A and B are shown apart, each in its own frame.
Chain A
Amino acid sequence: MTLDLPLIWAVLIATAVGLYVLLDGFDLGVGLLFLFARTDQDRDVMMNTIAPVWDGNETWLVLGGGGLLAAFPLGYSILLPALYLPVTLMLAGLILRGVAFEFRLRGRDRGKRFWTLAFAGGSILATLAQGFVLGGFIQGVTVRGDAFAGGPFDWLTPYTVLVAVGLVAGYALLGAAWLMLKTQDDLHGDARRWSSIAVPLVGALLAGVSVATLLVHPQIAARWGVSWQGLDLARLALLAPIPLLGAAGLITAGLGLRRRSHSAPFIGGVLVFLSGYLGLAAGFSPYVVPYTITFRQAAADPSALGLMLIGAGVLLPLILGYTAFVYWTFRGKVTPDAGYH
């Protein structure tokens, strides 16, 4: 039996990035909402809901980056120079919010206030930058002779601004819904309010980004069977479950909010992200550098892919297992008096 190694690795890395977006999405989302909390005690609780897991969540981003280098070195070597500035800003944001978890505890008055702002500001910066990375990726990268050949600000267009704003709304929804899941009393009520603002906002932005994505590159429109000549219904029908999944997610979140469910909004948010992610993937696959280099062209040597598959085959199930164990350990509501244990 011969394994299609490039395909397996494309799926694995896409899964890692998708997991990253969901997992760090909710903890970045908590950061986005940080300044809206009423009291410092609420902020402590908000941080406590993610403190034990954020580091593991962010590791999926390192796997996305490191895995891309390992499995598709050509893709990595073109995309990162193309997205140089947003990647730098993302890293700066992640540094500020990452150290804030511990620094905020150690600071006295001024220090604590500064790291509160740094946690919120870093989360906003990282989210916006990830939106620009995503938008810059979807709109396509200029490539000549296996290298990036565009300008330093190619990633900054009206389309990418829309994607970045959309991602902020999306992460805020995940964060608010996560807080509904993990908190009670006043903070839970605030989180419910934030969620009910985020749901229609996400719905509108998702629709806006979807339409804009069809316009941003003819390849994507063709994939969805949309053109000025009319609609190719057969193609559209094939992909229709993806937007329907998004709609189902929004409805789940909306109804959940109305019925005062603690968990339905989070499930709805996850479905919305899944739909958005699959929708984009349907537009740009099989490219690892849209729209010039496919994952097969960018794939590493079979010896590298094979060795890593053995490693990943052993280690990934373990990782998923102990990640689940950690989430299970920290299940349930976080209360103010529980503090940091």
Chain B
Amino acid sequence: MHLDALILSRLQFAFTIAFHIIFPSFTIGLASFLAVLEGLWLITKQSRFQTLFLFWIKIFALSFGMGVVSGVVMSYEFGTNWSVFSAKAGNIIGPLMAFEVLSAFFLEASFLGVMLFGWKKVGPRLHFAATCLVALGTLASAFWIVSANSWMQGPSGYAILPNGHFVATSWLAVIFSPTMPSRLTHMVMAAYLTTSLVVGAASAWQLLRNPEPAESRTALLMAVGMFAIVAPLQLLAGHWSGEVVREHQPLKLAAIEAYWTTKTPQGLTLFGLPDRDARKTHFEVTIPKIGNLIEGVSPTTALKGLDAWPRQDWPVVGLVFWAFRIMVGLGLAIIGLGAWGAVQGLRRRLFQDRWFLRAAVAMGPAGFVAVICGWITAEAGRQPYTVYGLLRTDHSMSPVGAGQVSASLAVFMVVYAVVFSVGVLYILRLMAEGPIAGAAEPVRGDRAPGTPLAAAPDQDPGAPIPPRGGGQ
């Protein structure tokens, strides 16, 4: 019974946090993008920046709302499902989260109101300031939550009291724990890339239908610039993060690379099916001896394999192994897309290269998949611990029964399925409509007055798919 509630709680946490991370990884980047657009508009007075701003702010509002409500869930789940973790690590995790609320959530929530509804109430400069503060809030939020998570990955600056509770001995060491700087860099860049992939895909979609609009051209150029510059940097940040993992979580590294035994030097397994019970990788494609090179250590250094730890301390090797490979594969594909776009841009053929535009559309969701896979690598790779090496997951759980947890899991699955499918439908609908040049203010009906669409009948007979759960 206890094990059932444990597995259900883990499933619920995995489900709710995977759902949640989709939205921040998009809105962190989108908030910054909006601030840049509004700034460019204020400086250059060019209407295309205004049009783009007014278009993307609608999508921002939809996504931000979903991020907020799924985030509130997280702040209570630590207590409902992981109360022993909360009691033991509350002295450390609690303040980090409290700082997130105080420095980020209030800032975002309050100025979002001004950003969305204050257009006529405040002047353009104050409105721009509100946009910048929302963007700043999203980054502050990322800072604190990655700080809290990094402390769980590689705790530092703490002591353990006789009753098993953690207390901070150095707050600087807690906030900037060893894995934090690399993981924060990696996450913020991931958010920027995720956003630029979505912006690129939506713009490419418009350009495939009509290659003329200046708005979509500008947005695509900005997105391609982002891929071309940030994607290679992200590879470096990822490598940095990997080095930190090697130093502080060698067991996780062994699982990521499916090193079953300690070797000097290790090989590099590209693909295969890791099997924890057989302690080997089936159908593996391995390049011998270059593992050390990839990890950036000398060929004479022994890299520990899973056999260096007892079996009950291993994470689920196959999950971590594959999540990591999907993330890296997508990262390389994004670098490729950036290089392709940069070359075509320099040859002034970007908007005519229909294959590039199609590829950009296809890569639209790649950032989300990569972010989720990256977090699976990080979180599943931390198992079987909540606080790495110190507090086991099965000792972190609330005294609640499987019945309650299955009920809450079912509730969240149904509610999130409705919210997610309808939310994505509405966002895709807006993207299909595209930026409407000449819209002078953020009209927040589903179609702006004064546009051809305003006269269209409300129920489009050729409407693609009715919203799921939309009927009564």
Contact = CB atoms under 8 A, between A and B. Distances in A.
Interface of A: 51-53, 55-56, 58-59, 61-63, 65-71, 73-74, 76-81, 83-85, 87-89, 91-92, 94-96, 98-99, 101-103, 105-111, 113-114, 117, 146-149, 152, 300-301, 303-304, 307-308, 311-312, 315-316, 319, 322-323, 326, 329-330, 339-341
A156 to B, nearest CB: 13
Contacts of A79: 79
B437 to A, nearest CB: 20
B38 to A, nearest CB: 16
9 contacts: A73-B165, A77-B84, A80-B83, A103-B62, A113-B472, A300-B90, A300-B94, A303-B168, A322-B111
B121 A341 contact: yes
Chain B interface, DSSP helix/strand/loop, else mixed: helix
Given A315-B102, A322-B111, A326-B113, A66 B75 contact: yes
B112 to A, nearest CB: 6
B404 interface: yes
Contacts of A106: 62, 426, 429-430, 446
Interface string B30-57: 0000000000000000000000000000
B411 A105 contact: no
A329 B83 contact: no
B412 A303 contact: no
Nearest to B169: A303
Given A63-B102, A81-B400, A339 B76 contact: no
B407 interface: yes
A301 B91 contact: yes
Nearest to B83: A77
Given A59-B101, A61-B72, A110-B467, 9 more contacts: A51-B113, A62-B75, A77-B398, A80-B83, A81-B398, A87-B76, A147-B83, A304-B92, A340-B445
Interface string B70-101: 11110110111001101100111111011111
Considering residues A71, A78, A81, which has the most beta carbons from chain B within 10 angstroms of its beta carbon?
A: A81
Contacts of A303: 91, 167-169, 171
Contacts of A59: 101, 105-106, 109-110
Contacts of B229: none
A102 B416 CA distance: 16
B403 interface: yes
B400 to A, nearest CB: 5
Contacts of B70: 95
A102 B94 contact: no
Nearest to B449: A339
Contacts of A56: 106, 109-110, 113
A147 B171 CA distance: 28
Considering residues B69, B70, B401, which has the most beta carbons from chain A within 10 angstroms of its beta carbon?
A: B69
B455 to A, nearest CB: 15
Nearest to A71: B94
Interface in B197-240: none
Chain A interface, DSSP helix/strand/loop, else mixed: helix
Interface stretch (B180-188, B266-274, B384-392, B458-466): B458-466
A129 B66 CA distance: 21
Contacts of B121: 329-330, 341
A84 B397 CA distance: 13
A190 B195 CA distance: 44
Interface in B153-188: 165, 167-169, 171
Contacts of A114: 467, 469-472
A58 B109 contact: yes
A146 B110 contact: no
Given A65-B75, A74-B87, A110-B472, A323 B106 contact: yes
A147 B68 contact: no
Considering residues B106, B171, B443, which has the most beta carbons from chain A within 10 angstroms of its beta carbon?
A: B106
Given A76-B90, A102-B61, A329-B121, A81 B80 contact: yes
A240 to B, nearest CB: 36
B87 to A, nearest CB: 4
A159 B413 CA distance: 31
Contacts of A147: 83-84, 399
Contacts of A102: 61-62, 65, 426
B250 interface: no
Nearest to A117: B472
B114 A88 contact: no
Contacts of A74: 87, 90
A73 B100 contact: no
A329 B114 contact: yes
Contact of A69 (B90, B458, B470): B90
B167 A55 contact: no
B441 to A, nearest CB: 7
Given A66-B98, A73-B91, A109 B458 contact: yes
A330 B113 contact: yes
A171 B155 CA distance: 44
A92 B412 contact: yes
List the 10 shortest-distance A-B pairs measured between CB atoms, nearest first: A73-B90, A80-B79, A70-B94, A52-B113, A340-B444, A77-B87, A77-B83, A55-B109, A98-B69, A106-B426
Contacts of A340: 116-117, 442-445
A135 B99 CA distance: 30
Contact of A89 (B65, B94, B118, B411): B411
